[in-house]
Every structure is written in structure tokens, then in C-alpha cells.
Amino acid sequence: MKAIRLFLFFYLLFFGQANCQEINPISNETKQVLFLGNSITYAGQYINYVETYYRLKHPDSSIEWINLGLPSETVSGLSEEGHARGAFPRPDLHERLSRVFNQLKPDLVFANYGMNDGIYKPLDDLRFQKYKDGINWLQQSISINGAKGVFLTPPIYDPAKGEAYANVLDNYSDWLLSKRYTDNWAVIDLHWPMRKFLEEKRKNNPSYYLAKDGIHPGPTGHWLMAREILFFLGETEISAYEEFNEAIENMPNSIELLELISNKQAIQRDAWLRSTGHLRSGLNEGLPMEDAQKKISELEKQIKSLLN
């Protein structure tokens, strides 16, 4: 089985990236790019990397990159008993998506689900079907609202923390990748490149990890995610870099730009989560949109000054 999966990984790596290149989702008409997902997307580091690198390469771009990730969220609608010590069930994207599309009009939607959707239990047909149903519903919803959906396979769950759940996400990823060929979906594989990277590092350092808790990637993991997305967006030269700092080291003002974009993204995310609404307790309350836009506009002036 492992040999089959390795073959599948290299097949999809070669042919899948070629397939992604043919999609070319960014055009002169692209104005707004939306990211949906769970706590990994909410953390937003991979989105900060994507926006920073893309804008360094395309300084005249006016694309708005919006992060609306929500911690603990699923697209399956499932929640384990006693989640968050009984404080609240996992939020369900079904509850908020219509409000998101009522307020935002994205041209492109990146969706990153799966990590929470198996609710950290072994593979089960009913839970797997709930994930499939949720992803199919999300694709239909994105299309109905006039946007292009791009689905991201879930980041890895570290096998060292539990082989059973690592296997769940292997299966979820393989199914999502199959949608490229059965339904002509745009799917970016984050999962298998991250798994291969981790396995290679552990050959020389068995204690190496991408996510200390097995779930939430650190900076290197977020860069591996961003790298696949940037490749999909046509920035193929980034494949050679294992760290974000390596990719930007020869670009003027890149570190300062990343800091400004990260600050802007956090303000914008929290304001949009406040505006569109959600049922996840325990998050920082965002600014009212009018106040947030003033801060964002000021940061954008500084960003454009660095780019020019």
C-alpha cells in the first residue's frame, strides 16, 4: 500500500502541477481572493507568505487577499463529544457561508478543510462521506456565487502523533485529488509534499517535526503550503526553496513588507469575521469594518511605498 501511495504521489506531483499550470486562475479581472479554512488558515502565515511573494513579483497588482479562516471549523458539520472541554461544538461552515458571500464577491476561493473533519478518530465511512458531502456542497456554493473554487488537500497530521488519524487525512487527500480527474476541479496538493518533506527530514533527524502538536504547522510547514499555492499561481521558481526567507532574500524590502502584510491581514481577518459573523467563541473581537478599513488603507500606503 505504501508503494502504491508513493507512486501516486510522484504521479500527481508531476502531472498534477502541470495540470495546475494550465488553469491559470489569476487574470487582469481578478480583484478579490478569499481563503476559507480552519485554525491553520486562521493563523494565516501561509496566506501572508503568498500575498507577500506575489506582490513582490507583481508590484502593480491590486488583488485583495482575504483570510476568513475560523478555528475548529469543519465542512463536514461534525463535532466530537466534549469538544473544547464542552465549551462549544465545532463551528460548521454551512452556518456562515451565505453571509460571507452576501458581503464578499471573490473571484477565487481557496478552501482548506479536512484536518478537523474526521474529528480525530480512525477512518470511518460515515464520517468520510460527511466530508465528501461538505466539499461537494462547498464547490457548488462557490460556483453558484460566480467564483472559481480551488481546493487544498489537508496538511498532514503527524504520523508520530497517531498513525490512524494520519491515515484518515491520507485518504481524504487522495479522494480530493481524484476530483481533478473525475470532475475537472482545481485541486492543489499540500498533503503529500508535506508528508514527503517530513519523511525525508526524519531520515537524518528522527525528532524533526513540522507541527509540534502534530496539527498546526510552524513557519516551515506554512511555507510548504504557500509554495504549492504559489506554484499553482505560476510562480514556478519557488520550488527550489525550503524556507520563505530563502525565496525572498534577494528581494528589496521583503522582510518589512511581510511584517506590514501580516499586520494588515490580521486586522482585515478579524474585521471580516466580525462583520460576517460566526459561532466560534474565544476569538479576538475585530474592529468595526469602517475603523478597520482606515487602518488597512494606511498600511496599504506603506506597502505600496515599499513596492515602489
One-letter amino acid for residue 268 of the chain: Q
Phi, psi of 123 (to 5 degrees): -55, 135
Give the per-residue pLDDT at 24.
61
C-alpha cell, 100 = 460571507
| Residue 232: closest CA among 17, 76, 55 | 17
Between 21 and 78, the higher pLDDT residue: 78
Q: What are 132-165's pLDDT values in tens digits?
A: 999 999 999 999 999 999 999 999 999 999 999 9
Phi, psi of 153 (to 5 degrees): -65, 150
> Is pLDDT at 281 greater than 90 in this prediction?
yes
Q: What are 83-109's pLDDT values in tens digits?
A: 998 889 999 999 999 999 999 999 999
| Residue 133: closest CA among 188, 92, 165 | 92
Give the per-residue pLDDT at 189.
98
23 pLDDT tier (thresholds 50, 70, 90) = low
Q: Contact at 8 Å (CB) between 52 and 254?
A: yes
Q: What is the percent of the chain where pLDDT is above 70?
A: 92
Give the per-residue pLDDT at 220.
98
| Residue 217: closest CA among 111, 77, 70, 115 | 115
CA atoms within 13 A on the CB side of 102: 7
Task: Please state, in angstroms and rounded to a whole number, the distance separating the CA atoms of residues 243 and 92.
Answer: 33
Task: Please state, in angstroms and rounded to a whole number, the distance separating the CA atoms of residues 275 and 75.
Answer: 21
Give the per-residue pLDDT at 19.
42
Give the per-residue pLDDT at 28.
85
Give the per-residue pLDDT at 21.
39
Task: Please state, in angstroms and rounded to a whole number, the distance separating the CA atoms of residues 231 and 54.
Answer: 11
Task: Please state, in angstroms and rounded to a whole number, the distance separating the CA atoms of residues 126 and 123.
Answer: 9
14 pLDDT tier (thresholds 50, 70, 90) = very low
Q: What are 171-186's pLDDT values in tens digits?
A: 999 999 999 999 999 9
Q: Contact at 8 Å (CB) between 153 and 111?
A: no
4 pLDDT tier (thresholds 50, 70, 90) = very low
- Map the chain to HEC letters: CHHHHHHHHHHHHHHHHHHHHHHCCCCCCCCEEEEEECHHHHHCHHHHHHHHHHHHHCCCCCCEEEECCCCCCECCCCCCCCHHHHCCCCCEHHHHHHHHHHHCCCCEEEEECCCCCCCCCCCCHHHHHHHHHHHHHHHHHHHHCCCEEEEECCCCCCHHHCHHHHHHHHHHHHHHHHHHHHCCCEEECCHHHHHHHHHHHHHHCCCCCCCCCCCCCCHHHHHHHHHHHHHHCCCHHHHHCCCHHHHHCCCCCHHHHHHHHHHHHHHHHHHHHHHHCCCCCCCCCCCCHHHHHHHHHHHHHHHHHHHC
Average pLDDT, the chain: 93
> Is pLDDT at 8 greater than 80 in this prediction?
no
Residue-range domain boundaries for the chain: 30-307
Give the class (CATH, top level) of 30-307.
Answer: alpha beta
* Interior/surface letters 19-39, b for 16+ CB within 10 angstroms, e for the rest: bbeebebbeeebeebbbbbbb
